[in-house]
Structure 1
Amino acid sequence: MGLRTSITERQRRLGAELRKLRERSGMVTKEAGEVIGMGSAHLSHIEAGRTSIVTSRLRALCEAYGCTDEPYVEALVDMAEDSGKGWWTEHRKLVSPIALDLAELEAGATRACSYETLFIPGLLQTEGYMRAILGSAQRPDIEPAVRFRLERQHLLIGDDALPLHAVVHEAALRIAVGGPDVMREQLMRLIEAARLPNVTLQILPFDVGAVRSFSTSFSLLHGQAPGLETVVADTPAERTVFLGGDAVVESCADTFVRLAAAALAPIDPGAVPESHLVKDSLGLIQHVAYAL
């Protein structure tokens, strides 16, 4: 039995879900392994994402664990049968494994919710803004990183465009990344992107006051079935982490609802600037842009 030398987030999550189901059922690895004709060590490797599992054995385990949620089981089957190949494959030697994991997760998501405090969300950034951000971090791989991030943005267009709901703090509009010209282009890009039918953009203004967890950026990617959501967050060490689990997902989902409720009204794709009689997201973006 060959073990993987590197484990993708999808593979790790599949194993974690199987382990969660087993533990909920009260079975130990020896008992569960006997159900599908393998030893406990082999099953442990599957649960750690170090090796694969064939569909028939995965279904047998879910049945033995008492899992009757068909959409959830089918989503696990899809995760197990997925080759892991996509547009990101050609970038494997150019960007980090974490970036590749993020691209694969986004490609498999049914919906994305994003909250950003100091920067524009990556899916909505202009090339000039990207270069200024990556350059400020003195990264040696700016060109591959820019190409990769631009490719990620294709998720937002086309017949299967990813629904995105982004809440962006006003601070991100006012931090002069790259200078006035770069920021002016970036702010216009926000308005342009918000007019896409699958994009909802709201600005959380300074005067809203404190909102629970308002200082922490995160994204919530919804999987193919309830229970397979993934929280994407950056740590102080500038490392992206992927988090699952009911408690984490529920907390972040609740926080996002609170942030969206406190934010200004989203940009209405059909509205013209002259029709805005109250302060809203479009008006604030335009105000910041005109002041540059």
Structure 2
Amino acid sequence: MGLRPNPSQRQRRLGIELRRLRDACGLTATRAGAEVGLSAAHLNHIEAGRTAIQPGKLRTLMSLYGFKQEQLIDALVAMCQSNGRGWWSEYRHPPHNDNARDLAELEGMSVRIRAFQWMQVPGLLQTAEYMRALFRSGEPDASEDDLKGFADFRLRRQRLLTEARPPEFHAVVHEAALRMEIADRGVMERQIEHMVEMTRLPHVRVQILPFRANVHRVNYSTPFVCYDAPVAELSTVYVEHPARSPFVTDQSNLVQFSEAFSKLSAVALPPIDLDAASSIPTRRDSLGLVQRLLYDL
């Protein structure tokens, strides 16, 4: 079997965890590989996500490393057994890229998704016309077919929130995202109304971070998404950046981003609640601010 030229994020993450656990017990790749019948080079390829490992050998490595957290071991075994052939496998050709497919697979593996956005509405809450305007501004040279392809892929990702056993979705959206003139007035109105309607789903929570919020202790201006796995150690953060959008997996950084999201949520307005007794536009909560924004458009 040849080596994978472009391992998926799941494959890379499995290798990262195996390397972390080996390093923690102080074993070399030569010594650890010999115990399970693998060369050092083969084990290094596994730890880089370039090739697979059999579940039995993975469990043997865990025993060798003295690692006994069964829940995490079972999660690692499930990762190595997955073939990664979800619906996103149908989108293996341009204009779609590996990052987009990795995000779709991450979303499908998550029990909770926490998103912070300050320039645009989170992707899972976007309308088709809003996302097309967004793609058109970000990819001015893209063909109409490519723009449609980007939108179709994101719309397919959105089904996650309405299918059986969806993850919790919690978004903190800066007021600026709702005031950006990404599209014309009608598109923006319908986008904001759609975002509000999505909060009718019991697992969807949206908070607005107003311009006047006291965020001096948070210091996070870059949008990011926390993908919380069933086993906390396997969670991932996706940090959006115009040049590169890296996946963060280091445990200390995961804690840092999780704490940052908690702080942002704490200073944001109370969540949109369409079941609230009153809908007075002057209320000091997320729904009240959204109503005022719609009035100003």
* Residues paired across the two proteins, number: 291
Aligned-partner SS, 1:167: strand
Closer, same or farther: CA 131–273 of 1 in aligned 2, 3 Å = farther
Closer, same or farther: CA 31–269 of 1 in aligned 2, 3 Å = farther
| RMSD of aligned residue pairs (Cα, Å) | 1.3
Shift of 1:209: 3.2
Q: Which residue of 1 aligns with 2:118?
A: 117
Closer, same or farther: CA 273–128 of 1 in aligned 2, 3 Å = farther
Q: Which residue of 2 aligns with 1:231?
A: 237
Query: Does 1:68 pair with 2:74?
Result: no
Distance 2:170 2:234 in 1: 18
Select 1:220's aligned residue among 226, 232, 248.
Answer: 226
Query: Does 1:90 pair with 2:90?
Result: yes
Q: Which residue of 2 aligns with 1:143?
A: 148
Distance 1:14 1:274 in 2: 48
1:145-198 deviation line (CA, Å, top 9, x unaligned) = 000000000010132112101000000011111111110001101110112101
TM-score, with structure 2 as normaliser? 0.95
Amino acid at match of 1:224: P
Residue correspondence of structure 1 range 180-219 to structure 2 within 5 A: 180-211=185-216, 212-219=218-225
C-alpha contact 2:53 2:80 (8 A) present in aligned 1: yes
Residue correspondence of structure 1 range 44-83 to structure 2 within 5 A: 44-83=44-83
Distance 1:275 1:183 in 2: 21
Gaps of 5+ in 2: none
TM-score, with structure 1 as normaliser? 0.96
Aligned-partner SS, 1:207: coil
Dislocated runs of 4+, deviation >4 Å: none
Distance 2:230 2:12 in 1: 16
Q: Which residue of 2 aligns with 1:2?
A: 2
Amino acid at match of 1:117: W
Distance 1:162 1:276 in 2: 31
Distance 1:110 1:49 in 2: 24
1:254-283 deviation line (CA, Å, top 9, x unaligned) = 000000000000012422543677310011
Shift of 1:241: 1.4
Query: Does 1:38 pair with 2:38?
Result: yes
Distance 2:113 2:58 in 1: 28
Identity level (%): 42
Gaps of 5+ in 1: none
Amino acid at match of 1:251: Q
